[in-house]
Each structure stands twice: as C-alpha cells, then as structure tokens.
Amino acid sequence: MQEMLNYIDGKWVPSRTRRTDENRNPADRDEVVGTFQASSAEDADDAVAAAKRAYASWRLVPAPKRAEYLFKVGAILTAHKEAFARDMTREMGKVLSETRGDVQEGIDTAFLAGGEGRRLFGDTVPCELPSKAGWSERHPIGVCGLITPWNFPMAIPTWKLFPALVCGNTAVLKPASDTPLSVINLVKACEEAGIPPGVVNVVTGDGRSVGGRLVDHPDVRVISFTGSSEVGRHLAQVCGKSLKRLSLELGGKNAQIVLEDADLDLALDGVLWGAFGTAGQRCTATSRLILHRPIKQRFLEMLVERVKTLKLGNGLDESVQVGPMVSASQRESVHRYVEIGKREDGARLVHGGEFYTRGACEKGWFYTPTIFDGVTRPMRIAREEIFGPVLAVLEARDLDDAIATLNDTDYGLSSSIYTRDVNHAFRAIRDIEAGITYVNGPTIGAEVQLPFGGVKDTGNGHREASHTVLDVFTEWKSVYVDYSGRLQRAQIDTESASG
C-alpha cells in the first residue's frame, strides 16, 4: 500500500489537511489499492496559483513545441500501458481488455491532440476593402479546472487535459474519489515527459472541497466536467454567474433498435457488449433495447440464454467478462432501480436483479446482469439513468415507432440501429435525437477522431474529442491589417472602394 500525494507546481506534496482516504479494490474489498490525499479548498487554491503562474510562459511556447510534450506523454503511456491497465482494473474493477482500451484511448488522444499543434486552424478570408487583410486565430484562455469521472479514469482526463495543453492553457485536474490512481499515473507520465512545473497539477479529494473550489475560483477560466446531469445543472448556475466557460458531458439513456431485417446474431453481440460491458457503468451504455415486434420474443430468448453464460469476477482474470460495480454505494443505487422496476406495472424481471456473491465474488461489489421485459416508455427504468448492468426491453410496431420510442427520453447521447435496409439506416441517422448514432454496432465504442457528446440533458452543446474540443479551450480572435495608408471604413466606404 502506497500513499499518493498531490502534484502542485512540479512537486509531489501532501494535502494541507494531512488526511488521507483509502482506495479499495471493488472486486475484493480487503485489498487497499492505496491512500490518497483528502484535500481541501486551500490545496485547490495552491494548485490554481501554480497554474496561473505557469500560464504566463506556457502560452508563449509555440504550439508545435507544446505538442512535442504530448507526443512524449503518448510514448510513455504506450510503454506503461499494461501496468497502468492493471492498476485501473484494481481501482475501478472493469476487465483488463477494457482497461487496456482505456489507456489506449489516452494514447490515441495524446497523438491526436499533439497533431493539432501544427494545425490549430483559423480562417483567412478576403476583406471588402483594398489593401486590407483579415484572418481568425485561436488563443488560449488560462487556467482550466478539469473534473473527471471514475468510469474512464484515464481516457476522459486525457480528453480534457491534452487539448487544453496544446492550446496553451494550464490545468488543475480533480479526479474522481473512487479512481485517483489512474490520474496520478497520467500525471507521472506528464512529469516524465518534462512538462514544465505548474502546467499540469492534480489535487485529489471530494467534489465539494476540491471540485467546488475550482468551480468558484476567479482565476479558473474554464471548467470541463463529466458526470451527472443533476451536478451539471448546478455547475451551469454557478459558472453562469461569472460567465465562466463551461463544458458539460452528462448522462445518457441510450437505446439499441433491432429491426426484423437485422442480423440477429450480430445484434445480440452488440447488446451484450453495449449493456454489460464495464458492468453497464458507461454514459454510452445500452440501457434500453427496442425490439421490432415480429422478432421480439425470439431475440429476447436468445439474449437471456447468452446473458446466463457471462462470467463475473475479478477483471485481472482474462476469462472474466463482467467486473464489479465501482463501489458499494453504486451497487446499492443499481439495486434500488431494480426494486423500482419490479414495482412498475407491466414490467417483468426475466433475469438477474440481485447481488452476485458466488465464489471469489463474495468480497466484491458485483451485480448480476439484469433484464426487464414488458417495459413501456413512461416507466422510470425506461427514462432514468441507472448506470449499471440493467437492460430495459421495449417493443416497437415499426421503424417510426422504434425511433419515437428511442427519442422519448430527456437524454440524447448515443444510439444504435441494427438493420440490413440502407433506407431504414439513413432515416434513423436523420431522425434520431442523439449526438452519436451507430448502424449495426453497439452504443459504446467511440473513437477519438470524431466529436463526442450529446443533446438535451446530456450536455450544454460542447463536444469532446476530435478538433471540435478545441472550441472549449480557445478563444477566437479576428485580426485585420490595413496597409492602405489611409482611413478605410468597413461597410461605409465599400461602394467606392477601388484598388
């Protein structure tokens, strides 16, 4: 067991509180992964002050040079991929194949963001007056507060950190209390790459003391948050008072449609991965399955049979397919929703619905993959984010009914349709209200070169990943250079303008 420190101004330091919290393995609560600083608002203040000092010089480093640091970080993550993945499985629970993918997503983001160091494109446009040039360019904003979740404890921090850095900003990371080790590993990679002191800082602790202070701090110019819609609304109110830039990536209630003409075996593989990968603890997880009436009963029978074969256990075991819930409280939250589903008129529990405590799982926070049939649109288990291995099955008369059912939610992150009909596929792409639509693929599995985010209660219009994330971490500046040697008035002198 090792005590992990905060990283502020290029130094590993204890919290001012001198208190620590234990981080336990969710697959085996007897194993303490490490102890982490239970930091205070004053620790957050120290980190912001360091980031503000570093910003004065970091913003002047040419973007291609800033990018070179990210390429080095990507190489370090590559070299330590297996070790970091195993640490992540121990602290978060998801299986090794998924934690390797989590680290790989961080690697991909390092190289994608690094590539932007030689782009950061603006526009050069013709001006309406002679002997005058005009263009736009991106400028950094300042100190960024990055508040990250526990389900992708390295990938999501890199989505925020790397674009912020390549744009010339500095950052304070506040990792989720359940998974701080993966962010510590990420910051160690940044340190090894030689990123200057103060440019990257990490402060561990609870959301109220550390995250709340970052949101309130007048020197923090940008907040990027991934978490629940409830917290996101609160942050929007707080940041709105000071007009602070805020990027929100919030919840989802994602659905997979399976039509009569679909490849049912392929659709079955998709829903198993979408609903029960990461034990359903993804904002893109398949929480609803919308089945075309002619194939509904057959597909449901196929699904239940396959779910019965899923192996639960410690994610360090390569044969395990489903790991634990991240914490006891998360498991209790999932179970409360299962009890709600049991009470909803018409819903029928066809599999699962209980803690899983067999064998080696006895000491972990495991939950049996769960399926409800007979679910209808108004039910809470069809409308509210559960964030666990619980799948609600709904029936659709036809494509239009399926799309209407999918859209009947407050969220709009990811969506999926399985069909062999190209016309059905393109109608779904056009009519589904979501930031992501998969055709013949599950609702999970986004790639970093495309924008990530959603509509409605899923966010506030910003996107992560791709080049679109640069809009979160930059301000636009329009530049005009008049080399005519005389006063020229735009719009007013246009009609008489001549070479």
Catalytic residues: 249, 283
Nearest-CA neighbor of 359 among 311, 316, 308?
Answer: 311
Nearest by Cα to 169 from 137, 199, 196: 199
How far, in Å, CA of 55 to CA of 220, rounded?
11
Both structure tokens of 374: 């007979």
Strand partners, 371: 351, 391
How many Å apart are CA 406 and CA 403, to the nearest integer? 5
* Nearest to 221, CA basis, from 472, 451, 50: 472
If we measure between CA atoms, which residue out of 318, 47, 364, 339 comes closest to residue 198?
A: 47
Query: Are the C-beta atoms of 387 and 368 separated by less than 8 Å?
Result: no
Other Cβ atoms less than 10 A from the Cβ of 324: the count is 29
* Measured distance CA(33)–CA(407) in Å, rounded: 41
66: nearest Cα among 172, 187, 185, 193: 193
Task: For the chain, state the CA radius of gyration.
Answer: 24
